[in-house]
Amino acid sequence: MTASPIIRVRDLVKEFRTPRRAPGVSGALRTLFTREQNVVRAVDGISFDIAQGELVGYLGRNGAGKSTTIKMLTGILVPTSGEVVVSGRVPWRARERNALDIGVVFGQRSYLWWDLPLIDSFELIRRMYRMDAATYRRELDRVVELLELDELLGTPVRQLSLGQRMRGDLAAAIVYRPRVLYLDEPTVGVDVLAKERIRAFIAETNRSEGTTVVLTTHDLRDVERLCRRLILIERGTVLFDGRIDELRSRYAVGRQMVVDVVEGQGALDLPGVDEVRREGSRVWLTVYPDLEEIVRRIFVEHTGSRA
């Protein structure tokens, strides 16, 4: 494993300029002739390193700057200032070569060809990512089995359910074995069983392929299940960047609870609960707030009472 991080972000800033629009007819005329602009700092100086093989959760409220960061990492947007290096390249400068090395899944929109059978999307990806026939066959079989897509290959993408389409998007994003995978809300709107399947898939890909994964999500159960490290972002700045257990121990205040258990029960195995002592059928527990509660508290602290 190399010592240098695969993703390096330093003092990243992104400003958006929109023309200032005034209401009314006179306002509209003014808008046509002035250069007044609203400047919004979507990302206001963030820095972090991500090592190869990490599975990092990237959390923030809507409008906090998560998607903007991801878009700069993937080369879609050019930063106003600051530095981004992914796999030794600057994404927007070496856009195409960077693209060969990354997979992207945006939960809100499919990247598959809407009107064509699923298999056609894979064929096109094969060509775009310059996969030779043997490699393609092997990788396709691998992802089809992993995500149980074999019955869906002939179906036009527009006829797939949301969960099926999401699996298709995930398969398409990894079939060419990218080194980095960006997942933007991959479980949004998907049913409970499919969510678990998707989470298992992400965990497996990260574990067995060593793919670095950057996961942005609103569902903290995704984070609990998958990530060891969490970056919290609010109004364009990083609130917290570290391991989740560190988050718990720093912000979590455990409460003591004493419980009488039924005879013969084994050790209690619940998330967020530590067994401190056991005497006969009486158990002393320390109960910690769950991750969602912790994160909410952090946001409230940082922004005043605007949770």
Partner 1 sequence: MTLASVAWALFLANVRATLQYRLNVVIWFVVGIAFQLTSFFFLWALLARFRAVGGWTLEEIAFLYGIRLVGHGLTVFVFGGFQIVEWNVREGYFDRYLTWPVPPVLTVLTWWRPSSAGDLFGGLVLLAAAIRIAPVDLSPIGALYLVLAIAGAALVEAAFRFAFAALSFRFLRTSGLMFFVDTVFNTFGNLPLRIFGLGAEAALTFAIPVAFIAYFPASVLLGRTSELAVPPAIAYGAPLAGAVLFGLAYLLWRHELPRYQSSGS
Q: Which of 7, 9, 66, 247 binds partner 1 (CB under 8 A)?
A: 66
Q: Which stretch of DSSP H or E encloses residue 240? A: strand 237-243
Question: For residue 84, what is the enclosing H or E element?
Answer: strand 81-86
Cβ nearer to partner 1, comparing 106 with 240: 106
Q: Please, what is the end-to-end C-alpha distance for the chain in angstroms? A: 40
Q: Binding of partner 1 at residue 233 (CB under 8 A)?
A: no
Residue where the block lists tokens 């609010």: 234
- As measured in angstroms, the least distance from the Cβ of 236 to partner 1 is 13
Residue 113 contacts residue 169 (beta carbons within 8 Å):
no
Region for residue 236 given its phi and psi (left: phi exceeds 0; alpha: psi -120 to 50; beta: otherwise):
left
Of 99-118, binders to partner 1 (CB under 8 A) are 99-100, 102, 104, 106, 109, 111, 113-116
Count of residues near partner 1 by CB under 8 A = 35
Residue 156 or 272: which CB sits closer to partner 1? 156
Identity of the residue, 232 or 294, whose beta carbon is nearer to partner 1 in the bound complex: 232
Which long-range contacts does 126-132 make (Cβ < 8 Å, 24+ apart)? Answer: 126/175, 126/176, 129/100, 129/176, 130/100, 131/175, 131/176
Q: Among residue numbers 67 through 106, which ones bind partner 1 (CB under 8 A)?
A: 67-68, 71, 74-78, 92, 95-97, 99-100, 102, 104, 106
Give the containing element (helix H, strand E) for 118.
helix 118-128
- Using the minimum distance from each CB to partner 1, give the nearer residue, 126 or 195: 126
Q: Does 165 bind partner 1 (CB under 8 A)?
A: no
Mention every residue, 6+ apart, whose C-beta is less than 8 A from residue 75. Answer: 91, 92, 95, 98, 99
27, 63, 189, 242: residue in contact with partner 1 (rule CB under 8 A): 63
Q: Which of 123, 246, 290, 293 binds partner 1 (CB under 8 A)?
A: 123
21 touches partner 1 (CB under 8 A) = no
What string of H, E and C letters represents the secondary structure of 150-202? Answer: CCCCCCEHHHCCHHHHHHHHHHHHHCCCCCEEEEECCCCCCCHHHHHHHHHHH
Chain positions 135 to 164 lying near partner 1, rule: CB under 8 A, are none
Nearest-angstrom CA–CA distance, 234 and 251: 17
Nearer to partner 1, 62 or 256 (CB): 62
Q: How far is the CB of 269 from partner 1 (least distance, A)?
A: 38
In the complex, which residues of this chain contact partner 1 (CB under 8 A)? 16, 18, 62-63, 66-68, 71, 74-78, 92, 95-97, 99-100, 102, 104, 106, 109, 111, 113-116, 120, 123-124, 127-130
